[in-house]
Amino acid sequence: MPQVLPLAGDQALVSLMVIYFMVSVRFLALIFTASVFMLPSFPNQAKLWVSVMLSVIVTPLADVSIPTALLGDWVYVLLMTAREFLIGASIGFISSLPLYALQASGYVEGMVMGFNMMNMFDPLSSQQSSVLAQVKYFLAIWFFMRWNGHILLVRALAESLTLVPPGPGAWPGAGGVPWLDWLQRLFLMAMSLSLPVLGAVILADVGLGFVARTVPQMNVFVLGIPLKICVGFLVLLAIIPSAVDVMHAEVERAVEYALSGIYYWR
């Protein structure tokens, strides 16, 4: 009778499945944290299947392997999964810094123009948000997609598989991660984008102060609200092209920051 041979590739199959799972977790974290994929029109089920599909496409291109002897410990598998999630989340968050900077500049401009008294519902955070912040945020997402930023994110995560492959790693600790540098860059970008409107509104306030001193009969408060809105909108229309150019120059730099930051999760 023919002898049934044992399956010699069981361990290799388990290792391959774990590798695909780790890569899909990294893609899933990227999709859930990158602002371009966080729109409510993109359902969670579609995000899950897109991450699985991308992992199936990208994993054969990366030469990664996990020692089979380490797969017997479920604690180690969970730690590797958490590490993959942190890597994907860091790439998605840091790559979205230019979009968040443009949104933060909208908050500042809405505050000085008096639009904070009128908010709108934000479908992403399910909270009330500034009108200008939402307009600039969706404008940033539109230009990000126009520049194929979503493809750039997928390519960056595929490159991260070569730089920091799934599997054993030694985490040096979160103290070495330059979070403050990234947040400082986000703050500087937001302030540089909102300074023209802020300066124009301050000059309008100074002019209203002179008017209040020279013509006391005039109600400066009633005159100041529409004046600051008109001045803010005129300056905003003038600087929107420059703001888009600044964001375009920062998109690839933010992806480079994200790829350099994943070394801290080795």
Residue extents of the structural domains in the chain? 10-265
How many angstroms separate the CA atoms of 28 and 92, rounded?
10
How many angstroms separate the CA atoms of 112 and 199, rounded?
10
Residue 119 has a pLDDT of 66
Global model pTM greater than 0.95: no
What tens digit of pLDDT does each residue of 28-61 get?
A: 888 888 887 877 777 778 888 888 888 888 877 6
Residue 131 has a pLDDT of 79
Report the mean per-residue pLDDT for the chain.
77
User: Which 8-state DSSP code applies to residue 13?
Assistant: H
What tens digit of pLDDT does each residue of 69-114 get?
A: 555 567 777 878 888 888 888 888 888 888 888 888 888 888 888 7
Buried b (16+ CB within 10 A) or exposed e, 129-144: bbebbbbbbebbbebb
Question: Which has the closest alpha carbon to 222: 236, 233, 212?
Answer: 212
**8 or 176: which leads in pLDDT:** 176
User: Which 8-state DSSP code applies to residue 128?
Assistant: E
Residue 10 has a pLDDT of 59
Span 7-21, mean pLDDT? 66
Span 229-253, mean pLDDT? 84
Minimum mean pLDDT among 12-16, 111-115, 194-198: which range? 12-16
Residue with tokens 């009128």: 118
Residue 5 has a pLDDT of 36
- Token pair listed for 97: 């810094």
**99 or 13: which leads in pLDDT:** 99
Q: Which helix (H) or strand (E) holds 167?
A: none
Inter-residue long-range contacts of 239-246, CB under 8 Å, 24+ positions, other chains counted: 239/193, 239/196, 239/197, 240/139, 243/102, 243/105, 243/136, 243/193, 244/139, 244/143, 246/189, 246/192, 246/193
Minimum mean pLDDT among 171-175, 188-192, 213-217: which range? 171-175
How many angstroms separate the CA atoms of 127 and 117, rounded?
15
**228 or 182: which leads in pLDDT:** 228
How many angstroms separate the CA atoms of 121 and 51, rounded?
29
pLDDT at 12 over 50: yes
